[in-house]
Amino acid sequence: MECIFCNIKDKKAEAEIIFEDEHVLAFLDIQPVNYGHTLVIPKKHYDNFLTVPKDELDKLIHATQFIAGVVKRSLKADGFNIISNNGHTAGQSVYHFHMHIIPRFHNDFTIKPMVKAYASGALREYGEQIRSLISKYKDIYIG
């Protein structure tokens, strides 16, 4: 299936590339939340966060840390958000895994979802529900 980020990686589609090495590519988002909004992708195609192999993910996270620092410094930003949308419901629109780096400036905008409150005992129940699958799957986790 046609993938716009693979096309950018293969130089078949244009993008404002700011960083490239053997494994990772970073370019400016064409619909920035703030100017300088950057996307970091693995050069190999993986649909989302859960399907990226550990070695590739290590490299991608390390590159994201480096690029975030440079974006912040070069734009004199006050901070930045690192975001990864996974799945349609979570806002993913391009199914080639990517990290968003969004530079943030004092008083630019607020992202403030409504927070929930746990009913009595529910915090423990959610913890147990998740922990039971952690036990089941922990063998596939390589720390």
79 binds ligand AMP, rule: CB under 6 A = no
Smallest Cα–Cα separation from 36: which of 90, 83, 73?
A: 73
Smallest Cα–Cα separation from 68: which of 55, 82, 57?
A: 82
Q: Which does 30 bind (CB under 5 to 8 A by kind): Zn ion, ligand AMP, none?
A: ligand AMP
For ligand AMP, how many residues bind (rule: CB under 6 A)?
Answer: 12
Our CA dihedral for 42, 46, 50, 56, rounded to 10 degrees, sits at: -30
Helix then strand count (H, E) for the chain reads: 3, 5
48 binds ligand AMP, rule: CB under 6 A = no
Binding site for ligand AMP (CB under 6 A): 4, 13, 15, 29-31, 39, 85, 91-94
Catalytic residues: 98
Binding site for Zn ion (CB under 5 A): 3, 5-6, 45, 96
